[in-house]
């Protein structure tokens, strides 16, 4: 009778454990895994029994880096259609406005997503998920927001759930019905907000289709007052909130989501010091999205020094979406976080592990290598954690371990 299913020895383990110094490294570390949980953690030298008798499978990591499975905590991965033509048009001098007037932009994705069948939507989204999984992503958040009516939002959320069920990846779903005003509600945004609050959120809650409620609080999205209404409805239906906040201007979105003890405020380039303090007090995570920052050629940096000073946890995510972040590479995003935002590699790795778990409210289960947590792990063809941020165009994943669904 073996003690564990799997024993990994001689791994350079970046535990990313809370309170540990920097990466929480264990040199020549060892991990015993049973039923998808971390049952033992220590040094290889600390194993006194004969190794072969301890586990069904013994893996000698030969000094390679072992990290928690990566977590992409903000994506719009489920959508139909393709907007590379708009990318090309813009580079040929056509303005955003002209593109929107010709039916482009977010509403073109809405049109394609509404028209796609469940199976078409699944098939189009799957390669994006697979690309992220190849880079060691073991947990992902997927938002709705291109359906903009109950039926199509639900279709997106159900596709996201099915992606998780069929691909051995943990999926958390977020309702983002307040992503844009749908064409049939043009100039009637308040009526659409009413529909979200009185029909969409209640139905989604009853069906258990989403783990969280999100909105796009911005001059080109939804106002502070409209967002508040949506959060009130979410609270009534017992769902946690997060927010696309202060991306292009300071509407006080980050402070608003903190007021509701929200899981995260995302983008936050324009957040004020007052908002940063409110986030610190509420424990709201700052989710930074450097890929969108890069694509939009933004220049206003998020208040990173203030986040550090006030101990606001920082997470990093791809923002994978067809408009402002056409990317299914978390590793590229990690490099961008270092270069665009001057975050350190330890901040970035924390941002795609422990703090990303915090942004999804699942920090008790995943995000660090600690006794009792799920054994979502990645073994890499490198020794140092900084390699993951440093070199581009090289996928160093050697092996991915994922806890089974029922573990």
Q: Which residues bind Zn ion (CB under 5 A)?
A: 319
CB of residue 109 to Zn ion, shortest distance in Å: 13
User: Which residues 6+ apart lie within 8 Å of 2 measured at CB?
Assistant: 53, 54, 55, 56
Query: CB-wise, 86 or 319, nearer to Zn ion?
Result: 319
User: Do β-strands 242-245 and 170-178 pair in parallel, antiparallel, or remain unpaired?
Assistant: unpaired
Q: Tell me how far apart the alpha carbons of residues 147 and 81 are, in angstroms, rounded to a whole number.
A: 13
CB of residue 110 to Zn ion, shortest distance in Å: 15
CB of residue 213 to Zn ion, shortest distance in Å: 14
Q: Tell me how far apart the alpha carbons of residues 119 and 117 are, in angstroms, rounded to a whole number.
A: 5
User: Do β-strands 397-401 and 170-178 pair in parallel, antiparallel, or remain unpaired?
Assistant: unpaired
CB of residue 180 to Zn ion, shortest distance in Å: 12
Contact call for residues 29 and 82 (beta carbons, < 8 A): no
Query: CB-wise, 194 or 340, nearer to Zn ion?
Result: 340
CB of residue 94 to Zn ion, shortest distance in Å: 24
- In this structure, the number of other CB atoms found within 10 A of the CB of residue 301 comes to 14
Q: Which residue is nearest to Zn ion (CB)?
A: 319
CB of residue 335 to Zn ion, shortest distance in Å: 19
Q: Tell me how far apart the alpha carbons of residues 340 and 351 are, in angstroms, rounded to a whole number.
A: 15
Query: CB-wise, 319 or 363, nearer to Zn ion?
Result: 319
Query: CB-wise, 30 or 358, nearer to Zn ion?
Result: 358
CB of residue 315 to Zn ion, shortest distance in Å: 13
Query: CB-wise, 214 or 376, nearer to Zn ion?
Result: 214
Contact call for residues 122 and 133 (beta carbons, < 8 A): no
CB of residue 287 to Zn ion, shortest distance in Å: 9
Kindly report the three-state secondary structure assignment for every residue of 111-131.
Answer: HHHHHCCHHHHHHHHHHHHHH
- Chain-centroid distance, C-alpha 120: 23
How big is the chain by its Cα radius of gyration, in Å?
Answer: 21
CA distances 176 to 48, 153, 207, 230, Å, are 52, 8, 16, 10
CB of residue 266 to Zn ion, shortest distance in Å: 6
Query: CB-wise, 7 or 360, nearer to Zn ion?
Result: 360
Query: CB-wise, 153 or 319, nearer to Zn ion?
Result: 319
Q: Tell me how far apart the alpha carbons of residues 122 and 125 are, in angstroms, rounded to a whole number.
A: 5
Query: CB-wise, 180 or 279, nearer to Zn ion?
Result: 180
Query: CB-wise, 9 or 217, nearer to Zn ion?
Result: 217
CB of residue 156 to Zn ion, shortest distance in Å: 14
Element (H or E) spanning 28, and its range?
strand 25-34
Which pair of structure tokens corresponds to residue 196?
Answer: 């979200």
- In this structure, the number of other CB atoms found within 10 A of the CB of residue 84 comes to 9
Beta strands in 354-405 (DSSP E): 377-380, 397-401
Query: CB-wise, 180 or 338, nearer to Zn ion?
Result: 180
Q: Tell me how far apart the alpha carbons of residues 41 and 285 are, in angstroms, rounded to a whole number.
A: 28
């Amino acid at each position: 009778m073996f003690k564990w299913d799997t024993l990994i020895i001689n791994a350079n383990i970046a535990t990313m454990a809370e309170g540990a110094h920097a990466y929480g490294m264990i040199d020549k570390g060892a991990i015993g895994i049973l039923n998808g949980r971390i049952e033992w953690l220590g040094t290889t030298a600390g194993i006194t029994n004969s190794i072969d008798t301890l586990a069904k499978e013994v893996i000698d990591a030969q000094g390679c880096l072992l990290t928690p499975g990566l977590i992409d905590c903000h994506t719009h991965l489920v959508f139909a259609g393709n907007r590379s033509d708009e990318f090309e048009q813009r580079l040929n001098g056509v303005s955003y406005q002209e593109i929107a007037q010709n039916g482009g932009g977010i509403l073109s994705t809405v049109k394609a997503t509404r028209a796609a069948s469940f199976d078409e939507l699944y098939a189009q989204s799957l390669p994006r998920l697979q690309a992220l999984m190849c880079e060691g992503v073991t947990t992902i958040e997927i938002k709705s927001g291109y359906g903009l009516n109950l039926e199509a939002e639900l279709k997106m959320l159900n596709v996201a759930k099915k992606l998780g069920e069929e691909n051995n990846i943990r999926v958390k779903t977020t309702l983002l019905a307040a992503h844009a005003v749908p064409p049939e509600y043009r100039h009637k945004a308040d009526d659409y907000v009413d529909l979200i609050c009185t029909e969409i959120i209640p139905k989604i809650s009853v069906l258990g289709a989403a783990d969280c409620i999100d909105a796009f609080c911005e001059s080109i999205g939804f106002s502070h007052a409209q967002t508040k209404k949506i959060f009130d409805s979410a609270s009534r239906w017992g769902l946690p909130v997060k927010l696309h906040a202060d991306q292009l201007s300071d509407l006080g979105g980050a402070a608003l989501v903190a007021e509701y003890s929200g899981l995260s405020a995302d983008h936050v380039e324009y957040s004020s010091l007052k908002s940063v303090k409110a986030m610190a007090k509420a424990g709201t995570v700052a989710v930074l999205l450097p890929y969108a920052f890069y694509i939009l050629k933004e220049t206003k940096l998020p208040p990173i020094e203030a986040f550090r000073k006030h101990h606001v946890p920082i997470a990093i995510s791809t923002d994978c979406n067809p408009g402002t972040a056409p990317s299914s590479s978390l590793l590229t995003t990690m490099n961008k976080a270092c270069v665009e935002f001057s975050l350190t590699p330890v901040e970035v790795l924390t941002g795609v592990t422990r703090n990303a778990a915090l942004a999804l409210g699942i920090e008790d289960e995943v995000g660090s290598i600690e006794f009792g947590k799920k054994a979502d792990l990645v073994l890499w063809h490198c020794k140092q954690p900084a390699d993951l941020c440093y070199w581009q165009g090289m996928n160093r994943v050697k092996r991915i371990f994922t806890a089974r669904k029922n573990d």
